Chains A and B, each alone.
Chain A
Amino acid sequence: MIRASGLTKRYKAVEALRGLDLAVPEGKVLALLGPNGAGKTTAVRCLTTLLKPDAGSATVAGIDVLADPAGARAKIGLSGQYAAVDEHLTGYENLVMVGRLYHLGKSRAQARARELLERFDLSEAADRPSKTYSGGMRRRLDLAGALVAAPPVLILDEPTTGLDVRSRQQMWDVIRELVASGATLLLTTQYLEEADRLADDIVVIDHGQAIAHGTADELKATTGGERIEVVLADVEDRDAAVRTLTEIAVGDVRVSDNGRELSVAVSGRGAGHLLHVLQGFERDSVTVLDAGLRRPTLDDVFLSLTGHATEDAVAGTDDKNKELAK
């Protein structure tokens, strides 16, 4: 349903895309996972005819996006990284305008706008200018805009970045409904968890290239899956703790420099392993300050795929939230 091959785009000094290949079968969800600057937005813009790639080709619903951009646009609902809504228009006016530009006709555009506002829980705010909306509401309005003509293909660029936990959960529910109703979906994200929950397939990209491809489980397997981490109260207990952890470890037990923080990769049911470890500690009277099961994050996946952490993790900043807050 969505197919791209060899997408290449360069901005002066930066090679934003270096021969990216993608394929999303009909009715499936592909997550494009990557850190800031990986080329996610550039890929989305190429696929949605907003940007001409320097090389490569793409088809959406069988239509070549370069040869017939208008035809492709009719098949795609796009919700870009920054909400594309008119801040002076109300939510209702925004959606009616979009409907009319899809040539639905005035009365159908109006009916569709009401329907979508209802569905996205925006009915109450329908007649307020959208600049009074919260980030989450604006995001939902933007997604509603993408759905006006019920397009068969949806492309969402970081649909939940900058949203709080509740809004994110809502957005996930909405996305799941869309998929259940038969849409083909490409979404970009910086969170492995999000890709995990929503996608059938994940492509990890960095510096404009796909560096890994697979299901969430396959990717996590490359990092050794879940990890158990414990912090010991007393460094004296280290050897006893290592002995217990070795029983369930996949690979080596990692020990921090101070000797009190230990971690191991585990496979299968992490909770059962954790219980086993804690029982072992109880038996040997090993006191822990903290013990827990940690799911691999994008950073772990990245670290194991590229040998370098994501730039965000290094810089420790989160510009994205700041931008969205504007």
Chain B
Amino acid sequence: MSTATQALTDGWVVAQRNLIKIKRVPEVLVFVLISPIMFVLLFAFVFGGAIDPPGSVNYKEWLIAGIFAQTVVFGATFTGAGLAEDMQKGIIDRFRSLPMSSSAVLVGRTTSDVVYNILSLIIMALTGLLVGWRIREGVVDAILGFALLLLFAYAVSWVMAFVGMLVPSVEVINNASFIVIMPLTFVSNAFVPTETFDGALRTIVEWNPVSTLTQASRELFGNTGGFAPTDAWSMQNPVLYTLIWVGVILLVFAPLAVRQYRLTTSK
């Protein structure tokens, strides 16, 4: 078996183990499902009427893609925290004493977190539909939109996997991810239109991959309300620009995380 296929098959075995835990500790599942519902309802009803994006846009509808983006990006915290927890458990010694791929623990965790994200996207989409969100482009486009969200979240998972290896403490991971992901999602067009930012901040927003992810899924869901993106190249080509980020993050952080895993476990 080649190294890559072995990493994938071993990773899938570890992912199944992580998924069993969802069944055994339903509290986690409740959190995974409740918090996206809460986000959708909170933003839709608290801010839904307060903010008025330009054009004839229905803010609630416009907002949903931003909430999707924010939630799945935050979901990466799970990856870091889950791994940090694993590293402190005895099971890691069993994994390490087996002739399995050394990236399997990481591949497994990032994979099972895709399943978490799929679940939370389904829940958010259903809640969204209840409060008036609609898919206005074709089904294929909508599926592409969800796929892009999952792909980007998967890449961010690897960043958090690296952080989880670097500081194997659940509390630190939670705080660190809050400090990094909070600004990343708020200095973006997820909740307020790009036009409302000025000067340097606007440039940051335009080139922030969370903005382009949001922009791309808005376009794919048909939720832009005919409202044109700003002139920056990133906003004009949001799908491509987001995919470039996904590629770069994976190329940089997947090897870094695997290397850090080996370092951490051989102390």
Contact = CB atoms under 8 A, between A and B. Distances in A.
Interface of A: 48-52, 70-71, 73-74, 76, 78, 80, 82-89, 93, 97-98, 100-103, 129, 142, 145-146
A76 B97 contact: yes
Contact of B91 (A74, A86, A102): A86
B141 interface: no
B98 A84 contact: no
Interface string B63-74: 000000000000
A10 to B, nearest CB: 12
Contacts of A87: 89
Contacts of B94: 84-85, 98, 142, 145
B100 interface: yes
A52 B266 contact: yes
A-B complex: 8 closest residue pairs judged by Cβ atoms? A84-B94, A78-B97, A84-B93, A74-B99, A84-B90, A101-B100, A73-B99, A88-B24
B91 A85 contact: yes
Contacts of A102: 98-100
Contacts, number: 74
A82 B17 CA distance: 20
Contacts of A74: 99
25 contacts: A50-B93, A50-B265, A52-B266, A71-B99, A73-B97, A78-B93, A80-B93, A83-B90, A85-B94, A86-B89, A87-B89, A88-B20, A89-B24, A97-B13, A97-B17, A98-B94, A98-B98, A100-B13, A101-B10, A101-B14, A101-B95, A102-B98, A103-B99, A129-B24, A142-B94
A103 B1 CA distance: 10
Interface residues of B, number: 28
A18 B266 CA distance: 19
A103 B20 CA distance: 20
Contacts of A83: 90
B25 interface: yes
B21 interface: yes
B41 interface: no
A80 B90 contact: yes
B104 interface: yes
B7 to A, nearest CB: 12
Contacts of A80: 90, 93, 97
B96 interface: yes
Interface string B101-116: 0001000000000000
Nearest to A106: B13
Given A101-B98, A102-B100, 16 more contacts: A50-B265, A50-B266, A51-B266, A52-B266, A74-B99, A80-B90, A84-B91, A84-B97, A85-B90, A88-B21, A89-B20, A97-B13, A101-B13, A101-B14, A101-B95, A142-B94
B20 A48 contact: no
Contacts of B96: 49-50
Contact of A48 (B25, B95, B97): B97
Contacts of B93: 50, 78, 80, 82, 84
Given A52-B266, A83-B90, A93 B13 contact: no
A51 B104 CA distance: 19
A109 B96 CA distance: 18
A103 B12 CA distance: 12
A83 B21 CA distance: 19
Count chain B CB atoms within 10 A of each CB in A48, A70, A93, A101 and give the residue with the most. A101
Interface in B1-45: 1, 6, 9-10, 13-14, 16-17, 20-21, 24-25
B98 A93 contact: no
A39 to B, nearest CB: 16
